Every structure is written in structure tokens, then in C-alpha cells.
Amino acid sequence: MTATALLETKGLTMRFGGVVAVDHVDFTLQEVELRCVIGPNGAGKSTFFKCLTGQLRPTGGEVLFRGAPVGRIGTHAIARLGVGIKTQVPNVFDGLTARDNVWTAATKVAPGRIAERRTDEAMERVGIAGIADRIVGQLAHGQRQLVELAMVIAPEPDLILLDEPAAGMTDEEVDRLVDLIAELNQRHALVVVEHDMQFIRRIAKTVTVFHQGAVLIEGNVADILTNDQVRDVYLGKQAA
Amino acid sequence: MKKARVLPVLGNLAVLAAGLAVLFGLPAFAETYLIINSTIFAAFAILALSLALIWGYAGILCFGQAAFFGLGGYVYAVTAINMGDTTVPAVLAVLLPALFAGMLGYFMFWGRISDVYLGVITLTVSLIFFRFINQTAGEQWNIGDAPLGGFNGIPATPILNWPGRPGDQLAPENIFSLAVGLLIIVYFCCKILLATRFGRIIVAIRENETRAELLGYDVRLYKLAIFMIGGAMAGLSGLLFANSVFVSPTMFSLPVSGQIIIWIIIGGLGTLIGPVIGCILMQILTNYLGTLSQVKGFGWVDPNLVLGVLLVIFVLLVPKGLTALVADGWRWLASLATRPRAAAEPAARERTSNP
């Protein structure tokens, strides 16, 4: 008997009028797996994430979390199952301090003192302890990304979804992010959407390529990055 | 860091001292007229706090806070006339508006009504009440022994009696103490509420609803809870107003709903003390202008016109309200005072750490 996958989509489809943003995607992620998702702009990666977290209700197919369908439950209920997401445009509490941002995430899953401790730990791991008292709305884009990242990891979700986490970060911040992802992957499953191929090379094991809403190809990172079909898609030629 | 912790404590103590000074000081020298007027101010200040909480901290722009205010007043008046003793009616005047807010909120928040429509719906609800109560003249609109009285309202609104002693009514001075005492209590309860886990999550939801949901918070529940608390506070305000004037359909009217918003904008959205100050200042101003327009030669002074102009001036020039204006002014003075004396470096650090 095979173990139930952590996350599985079957024929997942999302239409906006005549546009099919996500087209019959079958996607399987095992416990504690790290998966990178790449694809050109408009390939449907972010829409795919929104379907996973319940922000969009799929027009077809289903999403299974540990074998249980989550298509009809609300965003907050999916989050409570243990799904944390860093969205493409940072979703943070702009008017609050960095620490209050992370605390709001930690206190959802842990009481009192433990929430305080998890807040400090998450900020330490991400490397934003130094800006704890700054108002997040006044921070640089990269720092806001880090605050959001700390919010995602503070509740220790089983599945972490990262949508373009490296965007707007300095080289130093990217280095830390690479280490952090490797460290997180020891206990958590991750799906990382990214454009930056350098970044993908540094973290990836298995890569899924999206193109025009569908999965183009899936495989080992070395094979994918040398694949002609993938190169054509990125260079804008018609996929064979 | 130290300064940041000390200042709020000092602020709270100052507010408490001012509140207690009014509570115990005013009755010592003021005439009954001023006492009754101050009671009305205190009642309205609680109404201002109710919207300050749900608009300023929860981000719910309710344009119909008057609905809960009027409901509180009418529930009290009708049940008090029927029951004789006023203790239970006073509790109902807080409870029923809260329940009504719960019902209304359920449909709005579960229906995912967005900001503007929420304003329109709440305003419409208060105006429906206004129109409905306005036409309730005649005996067919008696509830038990209580005539709703149409546009005249219920001039025979009973005054609160001491609990358990029907007929032993509170004197205007007692009602004043009750209103100001409750204002102080409500103010500090709001402060405490906002410092709790619930309060902090409410503020986070105001900042970013999507993020709160992605973290696993059921935003609808939190909004419903705070909306009901706001409804209860508005009901309490209506109860106190009914005891200092009497209930009439104007409690539900558009000017009341609009006024609350003006108090908050002038006092400062996102603070608690601002709306209270804004409310009291505007009430004093309205009263003064009302008296002034009776004086010969000043008949052209229309309080509503002046309020309107003031609102426009504030929205354009002081959008953050009086509290922010005072805070900025204070910071500016402080920077003037420290700049020449202190060495350049600590002063610079001070400025960057307190942007």
C-alpha cells in the first residue's frame, strides 16, 4: 500500500471566462518533499497556488490534502490543516510592527508564552530580529518578503507554498533564503514558484514546468534545465 | 524603548484623571442645565467610541450606528413603561442592539459584503427604522402600555430607578454620574480589549484580511464579534440618551449617523480618545452656535453649515484629526527643544527611531 500523498490535485481546472488559467493539472507532492515550479509569465503558477489555498474556487477537478478534498472549505480552514503560503505580492499587515506581524501568525497555533517564543524563533531564523519594532509598511520589498516568510514558518505548517520568494532580495538575503529552504525541507514539504533560474539551480531537486496553464514536463532539475522544450517555452517559441 | 512604554501609561492616567475630575468636580459647581447637557455629551461620547472601535480598529465603516443607538433607546423606553422597574429594560437596551447587530452582521460578513456596500446597507437600515418609527402615531402602534408615538417619540420615557426599587428614580445628578462613569469604564474596556489577543487580531484583520485568512483566522467571526460589541455600546449610549432627553425617531436619523462620522474624522480615526474629544468639542460648538443664532444679528448662523465647513477643512487639511495634529505638534516642539542642546548624534538617532 502506498502512503497517501500530502497534496494531490486531480484534473484541477480554473477558467476565467474564456481563459483557462489552470488546465487539468495533476500534481502530486509527498510528505517533506521539495518541489520547484517554474514557467513563463502567465503560465498559471500563481492561480494554481490560489486554488490550493482556497482563495479561488476551482471550476473543475479537485484538491486533496492528505487524501481529503479541500475544494469546498474556506481559506482559513485550509490554513488550519497546515498550509502556509507566501503570496507573490507580499500579504503583510502594513500598519503593524514586524514582530506583531509574526506574532499574529504564531498565536493562531500556539498559546501565550509559546507563541511569543515561536515568534522570536521564526524572526531569528529568517534574520529579521533586528527590525522587529519597525512598521512593516515602511520596509523595503525584500524585507517585507522576509517578514512574510517568518509569518509563514512561525506556525510550522506541514506544507509551505512560496510564490517568488527571492524577488526584491539582496544577494545576502537570497543566500540566507537558500539555506533556510534547505533547513525547512528537513521537516516541511515545500512548493517554490520562482523565475530566477540561478535560484532554482541552487535549491531544486524535482521541478515541474507550467506552460499555458498545464504541466509541460516534470523531472529532475538537471534534466529539466537542459531540456529543449523548456528552453523553447522560456524563449517564447512555440512548444513542440 | 523605555519612552515608548512610559508615554501610553501617562496618557491613560491623564485620561483617567480628566474623567474623574469631570465625574466628581462638575456636580460641585454646575447648574442642572449644564449637568443634563454634560450627560448628553457623555452618552454621545460612548456612541462615538462604538464607531471608533469598529471603524477605527476593525475597519468596518458602519454608516448606521444610529440604528443601534435608537434601538437601545426605544427598547429601554418600551420595556420600562411595560415593566415598571427599569433594571431589566436597561440590560435589554444593551443586549438587543447587540443581537440585532449580530443578525445584520451575519448577513453582511457571511455574504462577503465589501466596504462601500456595508456602509450603504447599514445606513439604509437606520433610515428604515427612522421611517418606520416616524409613522407609528396612533393606538394601533401601542406595544403593551407603551405608545410608540410616531414622530413625537415617547416623551414619557421613564427615568432609571435604583435597582429593585421601582418608582425611586435617579436624580439628574445621578444620571450624570452614571453616564460619565460608564463613559470612563467603556473607554478603558475598549483599551483593554484592544490589548488582548482578540483585539490585536482585529487590528491585523483591518490591516490585511487576506493574510489573516491565509493564517487560519475566520475573519467573519472576528468581525461579527466586534460589530456586536459596537452595537452593544451604541445601545448603551441610546439608553443614557433616553434618560437625559427622551426617545424620538430623530435618534435613527441621518444627521445622527453623519455626526458620529464627523466626530471621528475631526478627533482622529484609529484612536479612542480622539473621537471622544471630537464628539464633545462638536457638541459644545453646536450648542454655542445654536444659542448664537438666536441672538439678533446672528440669525444667519446655521450650525449644520458650520459643521459641514469644518468637516471639509479637516478632511482636506487635517485628515488624521486633532489627536494626530497635537501629537505632531508636540513632537515638533520636542525636536526644537532637544536640537540645540543635545549632541548631533543622539538627536539623529532619536529622530530615526521615532519616525
pLDDT in tens, B93-118: 999 999 999 999 999 999 988 888 99
∠ Cα A187 A193 A197 (to 5°): 105
Distance in angstroms (rounded) separating the CA atoms of residues A172 and A177 = 9
Answer yes or no: are the C-beta atoms of B272 and B191 closer than 8 Å: yes
Q: Name the residue of chain A whose CA is nearest to B270's CA.
A: A95
- Residues in A touching B202 (Cβ below 8 Å): none
Q: Is A199 exposed, middle or buried (0-12, 13-18, 19+ CB in 10 A)?
A: buried
Q: Do A138 and B219 touch (CB under 8 A)?
A: no
Distance in angstroms (rounded) separating the CA atoms of residues B223 and B205 = 9
Distance in angstroms (rounded) separating the CA atoms of residues B43 and B59 = 23
Tell whether the torsion through CA atoms of B20, B26, B32 and B35 is positive or negative: negative
Instruction: Tell me the pLDDT band of B205, cut-offs 50, 70 and 90.
Output: very high
Q: Which amino acid is at A136?
A: V
Instruction: Tell me the pLDDT band of B347, cut-offs 50, 70 and 90.
Output: very low
Distance, in angstroms, between B353 CA and closest chain A CA? Answer: 9
B3 CB near a chain A CB, below 8 Å? no
Instruction: Tell me the pLDDT band of B282, cut-offs 50, 70 and 90.
Output: very high
Q: Do A75 and B208 touch (CB under 8 A)?
A: no
Q: Quote the cell numbers at residue B153.
A: 417619540
Question: CB-CB: which of B1, B201, B218 is closest to A104?
Answer: B201
Tens of pLDDT, residues B28-42: 888 889 999 999 999
- Range 187-206 of B in CB contact (< 8 A) with A: 197, 200-201, 203-204, 206
Strands A206-211 and A60-65: unpaired
Residue A35: what pLDDT? 94
Nearest to B40 by CA among B221, B183, B205, B233: B183
**Stated length of chain B:** 355
Per-domain residue ranges for chain B? 2-252
Contacts of A177 by beta carbon, 8 Å cutoff, 6+ apart: A149, A165, A166, A169
Q: Do B208 and A155 touch (CB under 8 A)?
A: no
Distance, in angstroms, between B204 CA and closest chain A CA? Answer: 6
- Residues in B touching A95 (Cβ below 8 Å): 203, 206-207
Task: Name the percent of chain A lying above pLDDT 70.
Answer: 97
Q: Name the residue of chain A whose CA is nearest to B195's CA.
A: A100
Question: CB-CB: which of A74, A91, A100 is closest to B200?
Answer: A100
Question: CB-CB: which of B204, B206, B216 is closest to A76?
Answer: B216
Q: Is the pLDDT of residue B346 over 70?
A: no
Q: Is the pLDDT of residue A211 over 70?
A: yes
- Residues in B touching A84 (Cβ below 8 Å): 214-215
Q: Which of these ranges, A114-118, A220-224, B70-74, B336-340, has the smallest mean pLDDT?
A: B336-340
- The count of other CB atoms within 10 Å of the CB of residue B189 is 15
Q: Is the pLDDT of residue A3 over 90?
A: no
Distance, in angstroms, between B163 CA and closest chain A CA? Answer: 40
Judged by phi (left if over 0) then psi (alpha if -120 to 50, else beta), residue B321 lies in: left
Contacts of B80 by beta carbon, 8 Å cutoff, 6+ apart: B86, B89, B157, B158
Q: Is the pLDDT of residue A53 over 80?
A: yes
Q: Name the residue of chain A whose CA is nearest to B353's CA.
A: A134
Residue B1: what pLDDT? 44
Answer yes or no: are the C-beta atoms of A98 and A133 closer than 8 Å: yes
| Rg from Cα positions in chain A | 18
- Residues in A touching B214 (Cβ below 8 Å): 53, 55, 75-76, 79, 84-85, 87, 91
Answer yes or no: are the C-beta atoms of B124 and B64 closer than 8 Å: yes
Q: Do B216 and A80 touch (CB under 8 A)?
A: yes
Chain B interface, best mutation among A91, A149, A159, A160, by max B CB count within 10 A: A91
What's the order of all strands across the beta sheet hosting A60-65?
Answer: A19-29, A7-16, A60-65, A68-69
What counts of helices (H) and strands (E) characterise chain B?
A: 14, 2
Residue B352: what pLDDT? 45
Q: Is the pLDDT of residue B229 over 80?
A: yes
Kindly provide the b/e burial profile for residues B199-211, where b requires at least 16 CB atoms within 10 angstroms of the residue's own CB. bbbbbbbbbbbeb
What string of H, E and C letters represents the secondary structure of chain A? Answer: CCCCCCEEEEEEEEEECCEEEEEEEEEEECCCCEEEEECCCCCCHHHHHHHHCCCCCCCEEEEEECCEECCCCCHHHHHHCCEEEECCCCCCCCCCEHHHHHHHHHCCCCCHHHHHHHHHHHHHHHCCHHHCCCEHHHCCHHHHHHHHHHHHHCCCCCEEEEECCCCCCCHHHHHHHHHHHHHHCCCCEEEEECCCHHHHHHHCCEEEEEECCEEEEEEEHHHHHCCHHHHHHHHCCCCC
Instruction: Tell me the pLDDT band of A227, cut-offs 50, 70 and 90.
Output: confident
Instruction: Tell me the pLDDT band of B201, cut-offs 50, 70 and 90.
Output: very high
Residue B345: what pLDDT? 47
Q: Name the residue of chain B whose CA is nearest to A101's CA.
A: B204
Contacts of B99 by beta carbon, 8 Å cutoff, 6+ apart: B228
Answer yes or no: are the C-beta atoms of A34 and A59 closer than 8 Å: no
Q: Name the residue of chain B whose CA is nearest to A116's CA.
A: B197
Question: CB-CB: which of A80, A91, A138 is closest to B211?
Answer: A91
Contacts of B237 by beta carbon, 8 Å cutoff, 6+ apart: B43, B44, B46, B47, B50, B69, B72
Q: Is A221 exposed, middle or buried (0-12, 13-18, 19+ CB in 10 A)?
A: middle
Tens of pLDDT, residues A127-153: 899 999 999 999 998 899 999 999 999
Across the range B302-328, mean pLDDT stands at: 88
Tens of pLDDT, residues B139-194: 899 998 898 988 899 998 999 999 888 888 999 999 999 999 999 999 999 999 99
Residue B167: what pLDDT? 81
Return the DSSP state at B214: H
Nearest to B264 by CA among B59, B67, B9: B59
- Residues in A touching B213 (Cβ below 8 Å): 74-76, 79
Q: Name the residue of chain A whose CA is nearest to B218's CA.
A: A76
∠ Cα B229 B233 B236 (to 5°): 140
Answer yes or no: are the C-beta atoms of B185 and B233 closer than 8 Å: no
Location of C-alpha cell 518578503: A145
Q: What is the pTM of this model?
A: 0.90
Distance in angstroms (rounded) separating the CA atoms of residues B261 and B55 = 9
- Residues in B touching A101 (Cβ below 8 Å): 204
- Range 206-235 of B in CB contact (< 8 A) with A: 206-208, 210-219
Question: CB-CB: which of A75, A91, A138 is closest to B208?
Answer: A91
Q: Quote the cell numbers at residue B242.
A: 433616553
How many Cα atoms are found within 13 Å in the side-chain-facing hemisphere of B235? 24
Q: Is the pLDDT of residue B45 over 90?
A: yes
